[in-house]
Amino acid sequence: MPVSDYQMVEAWKEVLRLSRLEAGQTVTILTSSGTHPQTLATALIATQTMGAVVNRLDLPPVNGEKALSRDALAYLGTTPLTGNRAAVAALKESDLVLDLMTLLFSPEQLDILKTGTKILLVVEPPEVLTRLVPTLQDRERVLAAKARIAGARTMRIRSVAGTDFHCPLGEFAPIAEYGFVDEPGRWDHWPSGFALTFPDDGKARGRIVIDRGDILLPQKRYVQEPIELTIEGGYATKIAGGIDAELLSEYMATFNDKEAYAISHIGWGLQPRAQWCALGLYDREATLGMDARAFEGNFLFSLGPNNEAGGNRTTTCHIDVPLRHCDVFLDDEPVVRNGVVLDR
């Protein structure tokens, strides 16, 4: 059900407080045609209430004629900032950018972060945002998981469905997403709650079985028939199964790019307030699917780029797949057992 503007303003103020927004700092709210009007209106109120100098930068959408979906992560080509030096300069001069548009996997975002500007992505519906307001406890838990990943040299994932997936680690630093930006140059996403990394480039191997009830994103679809991926040399070299496998395979083929099949980020969900079942209760175009990405105990893997971690691989295709009922091991030490996180 809808939430009130008052609830949204209070949620914004808490997230901004956690993000260490101070009076007199410059906040730029980045918007486009798909920005939720209530999210924008309440962000304007909250930032001004806290004494910030507030700007709004509205940019036209791009890539709509190329993508097969209206999901912001369905096509990762150019962004509205591509070639827009004036817009990039304005964002670099900001202390905090509230991204209500979606700049993920763009070189412009990386350049802006290097200046010390903080960027917080906020594109889920208000009802999801108010339910998943981050906390300091979320931060502590995700950072602990990040530290465990940093100390490991392998991640292995197994499941009763047949997954047996091996990922050497160490080439890329782990990443913590806990929902707010409390350090200069930090990017995060409200809502979130997971730790992730990227396997050593070209080294992931094994078999991944996407079982019934697991989720494909950006399709925002619960799998009805198992899909088996064969992983060799860091790439999915075979996609086998029934109609769900055909749909995934044909969708990925439309990008005509072998890099679309590369293993991207890997990690597990740590957000107890996110729910596996929530995706089925929203219209597909109303949500980015962060409940699915963050629910506690999932194993989340993706296919596509690794440039967000400092790698050289870019592709316009990006697939996120949260799996249930997995065992996750770091250097043979279990961190998730059958979908239950072992940190409590």
Instruction: Give me the domains of the chain, ranges plus CATH numbers.
Output: 5-131 (3.40.50.2300), 136-341 (no CATH)
Whole-angstrom distance, CA of residue 35 vs CA of residue 100: 6
Residues 70-93 pLDDT 10s: 888 888 878 889 999 999 999 999
Residues 200-247 pLDDT 10s: 999 999 999 999 999 999 999 999 999 999 999 999 999 999 999 999
Whole-angstrom distance, CA of residue 85 vs CA of residue 243: 45
Angle (deg, nearest 10), helices 37-49 and 5-18: 60
Residues 149-174 pLDDT 10s: 999 999 999 999 999 999 999 999 99
Q: Hey, what are 102's tokens?
A: 């979606």
| Three-class secondary structure of residue 146 per DSSP | helix
Quick one: pLDDT at residue 64?
Answer: 82
* Inter-residue contact 183 to 118 (CB < 8 Å): yes
DSSP codes of every residue in 155-198: EEEEETTS-EEEEE--SS--EEE-S---STT-EEESS--EEEE-
Residues 83-122 pLDDT 10s: 999 999 999 999 999 999 998 778 899 999 999 999 999 9
| Three-class secondary structure of residue 103 per DSSP | coil
Whether residue 181 has pLDDT greater than 80:
yes
Q: Hey, what are 176's tokens?
A: 């913590």
CA-wise closest residue to 163 among 226, 213, 220, 221 = 226
Q: Hey, what are 233's tokens?
A: 């040399």
Quick one: pLDDT at residue 53?
Answer: 98
Q: What is the DSSP letter of 307?
A: G
Residues 273-310 pLDDT 10s: 999 999 999 988 889 999 999 999 999 999 999 888 88
344 — pLDDT class (breaks 50, 70, 90): low
Q: Hey, what are 272's tokens?
A: 């107890």
Question: Percent of the chain beyond pLDDT 70?
Answer: 100
Whole-angstrom distance, CA of residue 83 vs CA of residue 87: 9
40 — pLDDT class (breaks 50, 70, 90): very high
CA-wise closest residue to 196 among 216, 178, 217, 213 = 178
Quick one: pLDDT at residue 30?
Answer: 97
Q: What is the mean pLDDT of the chain?
A: 96
| Three-class secondary structure of residue 141 per DSSP | helix
Quick one: pLDDT at residue 20?
Answer: 98
- How far is CA 96 from its chain centroid? 19
118: left (phi over 0), alpha (psi -120 to 50) or beta: beta
63 — pLDDT class (breaks 50, 70, 90): confident
